[in-house]
């Protein structure tokens, strides 16, 4: 019986390279999460942004498990739900942009009065993020290794996604962190904050037009 499982496992492993490639492309390209971690890295540094990034990666993983468990059928039964998520996600991004403009990218003592998103907030946002749902649905339907069963198969693709996603969003957080040296200048700090806020609003608008 163990020998019978070997070909199935090998067949499932064949999809790992396309899965990793897809996860890389979707994770490294600009999107709501990458704009948010860039702003967090610039305002709070890489270390304080880690819980947010872990929330993003594992939140996306939870979505894949839910879709594989059949929750994705809800979107077929209630297609309006996708539109509601777009509006909620876009509204949240506009709120974050407003909060960013109001507070600015603070440094020094003023930074202590603000805080980055925590793990739960980063994970919860994925359920308002249409791009994250698209990734979850595509990954679960295209790359789920059926031979391993829904549970073990889901864990396999979640592991690949997390291993690929976290380094990708780390690049954006590190970019924001690298900008901290320039943000000692108040004018540059405000200009960068305005640019990130506009990027968040633009991303929210793009979500509505998808």
Per-residue pLDDT, 51: 96
pLDDT at 28 exceeding the cut of 60: yes
Spatial CA neighbour of 83 closest among 30, 128, 116: 128
**Separation of alpha carbons 67 and 169, rounded Å:** 23
Question: How much is the pLDDT for 92?
Answer: 75
- pLDDT higher than threshold 50 for residue 189: yes
Per-residue pLDDT, averaged over 8-32, amounts to 74
Q: Count Cβ neighbours within 10 Å for each residue of 95-133 and write b for 16 or more, e otherwise.
A: ebbeebbeebbbeeeeeeeeebbebeebbebbbbbbbbb
Distance of CA 114 to the CA centre of its chain: 22
Distance CA 32, CA 52 (A): 13
Instruction: Using the predicted structure, report yes or no on whether residue 54 has a pLDDT greater than 90.
Output: yes
Its pTM stands at: 0.73
Q: What is the pLDDT of residues 62-106, one digit of tens each?
A: 888 888 777 555 556 666 666 776 777 677 778 777 777 766 655
For the ranges 3-7, 83-87, 110-114, 190-194, the lowest mean pLDDT is seen at 3-7
Residue 40 has pLDDT above 80, yes or no: yes
Tell me the per-residue pLDDT of 126-184, one tens digit each, with 9 for 90 and over.
Answer: 988 877 887 888 787 777 766 666 677 788 888 999 999 999 999 999 998 988 877 77
Is 13 a residue whose pLDDT tops 60? no
What rounded mean pLDDT belongs to the chain? 77
Residue in 137, 166, 134 with CA at minimum distance from that of residue 52: 166
């Amino acid at each position: 019986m163990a020998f019978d499982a070997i070909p199935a496992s090998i067949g499932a492993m064949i999809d790992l390279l396309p899965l990793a490639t897809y996860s890389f492309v979707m994770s490294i390209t600009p999107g709501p999460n990458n704009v948010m971690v860039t702003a967090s890295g610039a305002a709070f540094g890489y270390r304080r942004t880690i819980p947010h990034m872990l929330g993003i990666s594992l939140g996306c993983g939870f979505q894949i498990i839910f879709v594989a468990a059949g929750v994705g059928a809800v979107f077929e039964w209630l297609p309006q739900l996708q539109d509601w998520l777009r509006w909620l996600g876009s509204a949240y991004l506009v709120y974050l942009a407003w909060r960013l403009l109001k507070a600015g990218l603070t440094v020094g003592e003023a930074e202590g009065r603000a805080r980055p998103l925590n793990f739960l907030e980063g994970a919860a946002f994925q359920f308002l993020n249409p791009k994250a749902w698209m990734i979850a649905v595509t990954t679960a339907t295209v790359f789920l290794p059926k031979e391993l069963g829904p549970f073990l198969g889901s864990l396999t693709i979640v592991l690949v996604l997390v291993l690929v996603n976290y380094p990708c969003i780390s690049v954006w957080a590190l970019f924001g962190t690298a900008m901290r040296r320039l943000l000692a200048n108040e004018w540059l700090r405000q200009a960068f904050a305005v640019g990130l806020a506009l990027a968040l609003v633009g991303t929210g608008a793009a979500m509505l037009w998808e």
